[in-house]
């Protein structure tokens, strides 16, 4: 049976190893880019999401306050990219699949999410090309990992597991 990571790789077109280049020795995007860049990126991203002309996509975020969504996102990114773990201190384990179950996360939604993230990456200053590529590969793989996880949870109601089964829900 295909693991969630395999599905994420197939659907996103990004190999799992490439997606986790953000974790390679010597790569710490938080140290490289600094906290303000992640705040700017998340603000830029959510400004686009909340202004989306596509009502079906905008409405997925209808129950969330923009300021809180921005804070959740940048604290998660800072932590995931090698910075302080303020996200987990405030919110607990990221458990991305479990947290996204409440929302209508589909292939179409992932595509639209990634469209806004690509635009946000391209228009946020001080992100060098190498970091941009590493981030978008991470985002692409993770978006489809979430889609695969939400789909499989909704189908069989079993806990999500990656190939090794040791690290549930990222
Ligand atoms: C939260 C949708 C992909 C990380 C949310 C929220 C929505 C949402 C509606 C609630 C906003 C809030 O109150 O924080 C989606 C959709 C996606 C997607 C439709 C398409 C696949 C991703 C990806 C990541 C991510 C790729 C990470 C790389 C997060 C995080 C939160 C969040 C960290 C905050 C969770 C919390 O603390 O409650 N997402 N998301 N999402 N999303 Fe996504």
- Phi, psi at 54, each rounded to 5°: -85, 105
Instruction: State residue 165's pLDDT score.
Output: 44
Instruction: State residue 167's pLDDT score.
Output: 43
- Is the pLDDT score of 53 beyond 90? yes
- Is the pLDDT score of 96 beyond 50? yes
**Quick check: pTM over 0.90?**
yes
* CATH class label, 4-156: mainly alpha
Whose C-alpha lies nearest to ligand 1, atom 5? Answer: 100
108-153: per-residue pLDDT in tens?
A: 999 999 999 999 999 999 999 999 999 999 999 999 999 999 998 8
CA of 73 to the centre of ligand 1 (A): 7
Q: What share of the chain in percent tops pLDDT 90?
A: 87
CA of 17 to the centre of ligand 1 (A): 22
Whose C-alpha lies nearest to ligand 1, atom 21? Answer: 110
Whose C-alpha lies nearest to ligand 1, atom 29? Answer: 73
Q: Where are the domains of the chain?
A: 4-156
Residues ≥6 apart with Cβ < 8 Å to 95:
168, 169, 170
Locate all alpha helices (DSSP H) within the chain, ordered by sequence.
4-12, 16-19, 29-33, 35-50, 55-58, 66-80, 86-91, 96-100, 107-123, 129-156
Pocket test for ligand 1, best of 146, 148, 150, 170 (most atoms within 8 A of CB): 146
């Amino acid at each position: 049976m295909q693991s969630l990571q395999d599905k994420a790789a197939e659907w996103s077109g990004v190999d799992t190893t490439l997606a986790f280049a953000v974790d390679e020795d010597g790569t710490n995007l938080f140290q490289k880019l600094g906290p303000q860049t992640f705040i700017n990126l998340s603000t830029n991203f959510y400004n686009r999401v909340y202004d989306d002309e596509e009502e079906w996509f905008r409405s997925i975020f209808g129950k969330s306050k923009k300021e809180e969504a921005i804070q959740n996102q940048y604290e998660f990114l800072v932590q995931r990219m090698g910075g302080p773990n303020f996200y987990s201190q405030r919110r607990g384990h990221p458990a991305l699949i479990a947290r996204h179950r409440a929302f209508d996360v589909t292939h179409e939604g992932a595509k639209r999410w990634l469209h806004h993230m690509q635009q946000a990456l391209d228009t946020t200053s001080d992100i060098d090309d190498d970091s941009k590529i590493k981030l978008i590969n991470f985002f692409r793989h993770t978006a489809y990992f979430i889609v695969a996880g939400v789909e499989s949870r909704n189908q069989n109601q079993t806990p999500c597991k990656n190939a090794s089964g040791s690290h549930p829900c990222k």
